Amino acid sequence: MNAGNYDTEDLIAALATPFAASALAVIRCSGDGSISTVSRCFSEPDLLINADHGRLVHGLFLHPDTSEPLDDVVLGVYRAPGGYTGEDSVEVFCHGSLPGIEAILKALSKAGFRDALPGEFTFRAFLHGKIDLTRAEAVQEIVSSKSGKAHRFALNRLSGALFDRIEQVKQRLADILSILEVQLDYAEDEIGGEVSIPLDQAEEAMEHISQLAQSYRTGRMFHEGASIAFAGKTNAGKSSLFNLFLKEDRSIVSEVHGTTRDYIESWISIEGMPARLFDTAGVRDAFDAVEQEGIRRSLDIVQKSDLVLHVFDGITGMNEQEAQFFQQQLGNPSYLFLWNKADSPHAMEAPEGTIAVSALTAQGFHELEQTVLGRLLGNRAASIEQEQVMIDSLRQKELLDRASDALKMFLKASDEQMPVDILASELHDALDALGQLTGEVTSDDILERIFSGFCVGK
């Protein structure tokens, strides 16, 4: 079985660490015969060929034709079915010199290895049964995680937690399906009368699937990060609050109106959830064409953000236009209204529906962080630490929804006393969707789409 351009008969090699000057670099090699092929480039070929699985061998890496020394290396030996890919493989630990890395890669190409495609090592691991598709996706999620919690959630999936949950549900549905198929295969008098269908198990299975599907929004937030934009008129204190979140002076703060003429962005972490924070240009009647363009871009950012922190100047209060906007958006969960400069003796009392804050003293900042987290995560915010399994893949979400819909149809058809073959058909649909989720039944184009998004060397 191949996926697109992945030819599993080839010997493949790729740099698994960044192509940058460093203390060490790792080059992965895999495929049937890879150990003996690498031995052509090694000063101790017999030692490498006879090395047991999991052993390290030290020597010189040589050009396969001229035997010119290229680097002093350590080789990690992995024999099938051990190792990451489930094939014979070698990992070359060399110095992180860019010319040295290039020389080793060229030598491997000369010896018979081709450049690995993105995700090809993980694809081979999937193909040889080392990991299922949920674990394969978790590999890339770990690499691209933007916070400690996102890394932990992905690591939980890599350990098999999601696969185990899906398998438990599949087993329940398979048990129900076996009861239905007995009724399809034998007459009622042959099996001793009507057989009871455990509908409660189907309802429990649907509940488990729905819970996993509902975790997608939270999982996506932790994996991709939320987008949060500051908005409001000039000089309300947006840039000061932006700097407070960052804990550094990133955005210019001045009493001069229109200091921020375009949006500024930076990544932050709010209790482990990554967020992309935008400081936008203050909205006012601007005659400067550059500032007008900055305001236009800022409004576009605001419209696309997951959450908008609209800042009011607590000293000057709201003008008529702001007051009207405040009333219109007060019930909008995508907006939080901040009453800045609350520490000032000249500040007005914060209106109901706003959070009193001070960018100068950090007054109200902890409450603000907690409220932001609650708005982004909804009712899952309080229980995030207890989450056992969470998904962040749209593919997984769509397949879980499909399985849930099939089970809803199954329960509806059972309630309406539809024929057994229709009930069995709905269960087959649910099991097929769950099988695609774990990779038990998945087409080559889907596999290529998943693995091609990986880094080279993974």
Q: Could you tell me the CA-to-CA distances from 287 to 225, 284, 291, 294 in Å, in that order?
A: 35, 10, 8, 12
Q: Are 12-130 and 139-215+391-439 in the same CATH fold?
A: no
Superfamily of domain 222-384: P-loop containing nucleotide triphosphate hydrolases (3.40.50.300)
Tell me which CATH code domain 12-130 carries.
Answer: 3.30.1360.120
Q: Could you tell me the CA-to-CA distances from 314 to 173, 242, 285, 339 in Å, in that order?
A: 59, 17, 21, 5
**Ranges of each domain in the chain:** 12-130, 139-215+391-439, 222-384
Digit-coded pLDDT (tens) for 242-269 = 888 888 655 444 344 444 445 688 888 8
How far apart are alpha carbons 117 and 396 in whole angstroms? 24
Digit-coded pLDDT (tens) for 301-331 = 888 889 999 999 999 999 888 899 899 989 8
User: What pLDDT does 209 receive?
Assistant: 95
Q: Could you tell me the CA-to-CA distances from 212 to 90, 170, 393, 403, 426 in Å, in that order?
A: 38, 14, 11, 11, 20
Does residue 189 surpass a pLDDT of 50?
no
User: What pLDDT does 50 receive?
Assistant: 96
How far apart are alpha carbons 450 and 143 in whole angstroms? 14
Q: pTM value?
A: 0.77
The CATH T-level fold of domain 139-215+391-439 is Four Helix Bundle (Hemerythrin (Met), subunit A) (1.20.120)
